[in-house]
Amino acid sequence: MTSQQYDGLLLDHDGVIVTLCSQHVLRDAALGAFADAGVSDPNPDDVDTITIRVSEDELCAVAKRYDVTPDRLWQCREDRIETTLRTETIAGRKAPYDDVACLERVEVPRGIVSNNQTRIVDFVLREYGLRGQFGTIRAREPTRASLREKKPNPTYLEAAATDIGSSNPLYVGDSESDVVAGQRAGFDTVFLRREHNATSHLETEPMADLESLEAVLELLNDS
């Protein structure tokens, strides 16, 4: 652990603040994106490829197979995903975890760092009355270029720390890419275990491996 006291808290959004959307719902959105781009019968593997954790190279390869521009396919995908996640949020199927309430007791500035779209993260937080708790949101614009800045690239993390005026933030994520991004940014990083990643094995060791935001709060208070 860094000896200096933490002067900020950065958190991933999906899987840390709010629950994940079901895989089949996201896949349906990706399938709809192909239809919007004029592709009527895409290969199921290609649908899976653009559903989540998409790289720019993967997107370009898929688009080429169907003679669609990558920008067109990606815009269709982003718009479908946004509509889907708005619907899931309004229906209450994408909702804050119970322990998010403890963040009201955090005394240092807070920010969100996500690989999701900024417009989605902002909508979800506002829908549940949480937007005011965070001084910044650093996430993706719905463009192909944004794929180059996703975590594990530390760009969003570094920008969020600057936004909240923090030189030594604690970062909380739920994936290997979060841990890698945190280390690349030089920030102590907590791997937060939820139901979806309870048994995950990490190749990269986080500073701490915790099971609740309450435990994160204790770590902050002890720093």
The yes-or-no verdict on residue 83 having pLDDT over 70 is yes
| Mean pLDDT computed over 170-174 | 98
Q: In the prediction, which pLDDT does 56 show?
A: 96
> Which tops the pLDDT comparison, 3 or 134?
134
User: Hey, where are the domains in the chain?
Assistant: 8-20+95-222, 23-90
| Mean pLDDT computed over 96-100 | 98
| Mean pLDDT computed over 58-66 | 98
Residue 165, CA distances (Å) to 144, 182, 184 in order: 29, 17, 19
Give per-residue pLDDT as tens, 178-195. 999 999 999 999 999 999
The yes-or-no verdict on residue 3 having pLDDT over 50 is no
The yes-or-no verdict on residue 61 having pLDDT over 50 is yes
Q: In the prediction, which pLDDT does 1 show?
A: 45
Using a pLDDT cut of 70, give the percent of the chain over it.
98
**Do residues 211 and 193 touch, judged by C-beta distance below 8 A?**
yes
- Which CATH class for the 8-20+95-222 domain? alpha beta
Q: In the prediction, which pLDDT does 222 show?
A: 87
Q: In the prediction, which pLDDT does 20 show?
A: 97
* Global confidence as pTM: 0.95
Q: In the prediction, which pLDDT does 4 show?
A: 67
Mean pLDDT of the chain: 96
| Mean pLDDT computed over 142-156 | 96
The yes-or-no verdict on residue 92 having pLDDT over 50 is yes
Lookup: tokens for 178: 């979060």
| Mean pLDDT computed over 149-153 | 96
pLDDT band at 223 (very low <50, low <70, confident <90, very high): confident
| Mean pLDDT computed over 91-118 | 97
Give per-residue pLDDT as tens, 25-54. 999 999 999 999 999 999 999 999 999 999
